Amino acid sequence: MNVAYEYDNHEHASPAAPAAVRGVVLVVDDQPQMLALLSEVLGDAGYTVIVAADGRSALERARMITPDVVLLDACMPGMDGFEVCLRMNADASLVGMPVIFMTGLTESEHIVKGFRAGGADYVTKPVKPDEVCVRVEAHLKRAQAQRRADMVVSAGGRAAIIADDEGRVRWHSSRAAAYLQRYVEAAQPDMLPGGLVRWLRQAEPSSRPYEIARGQARLSIRLAGPAGAEGWILTLVEFDDEASINDFVERFGLTLRQAEVLLWVSRGKTNRDIGEILDMKPRTVNKHLEHIFPKLGVETRAAAAATALQVIGP
């Protein structure tokens, strides 16, 4: 058979409300009975199930859909499961996708061959539906956690939240949750505060951050980019003005006033702005800068700002 196809699960649907979609599973087997069984079992468990009856069709489906998990028959006519897995792992768009082999071959050489091809796990035939569901769920969670970790790394490794357009939190780092608890009264772990949701709906990566102040400290939240189907990545950075000023005093030997001037220089403020904020004349600000530059070992305002940001973060 050279065609790939989907099974319609409506005839098997339970009268109860359908389960929420949990992920996409590609099932590959040359036996129609096995495809029907796994399509029904995984569909009832809340997964979107895509099926293919041969290796070539499996590769085509995987490239079109990018499933979350693949259940792959090891022994098929033509291109077998081992070759399919090797080709998936050689494809940059599919590499890292968890593949669970289904095999009646329990000899260790075949199991080893599956792992060497890039498989993440295996189940033996005849398959046990409960075991298949448990293994699929475990690998799906692991894959989702890895994708989220990759997203956070790409966002600079900061405290991060993944949320949808309605403000529902899909995932958060422990540090991000602690920040929200500290800055938002009656913070809910699974929902963003209303003001942040309204900002998110119109924000772009280039937008000014959403900020929440608490005393001399403030939480700055930026839109880092999309998180695939789950929504958006938000990065959170805490700024504590008092702590930053004290860091400058200790690190560079500045006076308290000089440290305050440097803090606002690092935020891009002009001498006039700084004078208004600190209640001093612009020429006094300039005098402070004349003393600050040599202590930092720099000659320009831009270099002073860059040096300050290395200490307190962007």
- With 0-12 / 13-18 / 19 or more C-beta atoms within 10 angstroms meaning exposed / middle / buried, residue 103 is buried
Specify the CATH architecture of the domain 157-239. Answer: 2-Layer Sandwich (3.30)
Distance from C-alpha of 49 to C-alpha of 298, rounded to nearest angstrom? 61
pLDDT tens digits along 147-203: 666 655 555 556 888 889 899 998 887 788 888 888 888 778 789 988 899 999 888
pLDDT tens digits along 101-148: 998 876 677 788 889 999 999 998 889 999 999 999 999 888 777 766
Instruction: For tokens 């995932």, name the residue.
Output: 171
Enumerate the CATH 3.40.50.2300 domain ranges in the chain, comma separated: 4-151
* DSSP string covering 108-137: HHHHHHHHHTT--EEEESSPPHHHHHHHHH
pLDDT tens digits along 262-281: 999 988 889 998 998 889 99
- 253: alpha, beta or left, given left = phi > 0 and alpha = psi -120 to 50? left
Tokens linked to 232: 């958006």
pLDDT tens digits along 221-248: 988 888 766 788 898 888 888 888 998 9
Q: How many CA atoms lie within 13 A of 165 on its CB side?
A: 5
Q: What is the mean predicted confidence (pLDDT) over 46-66?
A: 91
Query: Does domain 4-151 bear CATH number 1.10.1270.20?
Result: no
CATH code of domain 253-312: 1.10.10.10
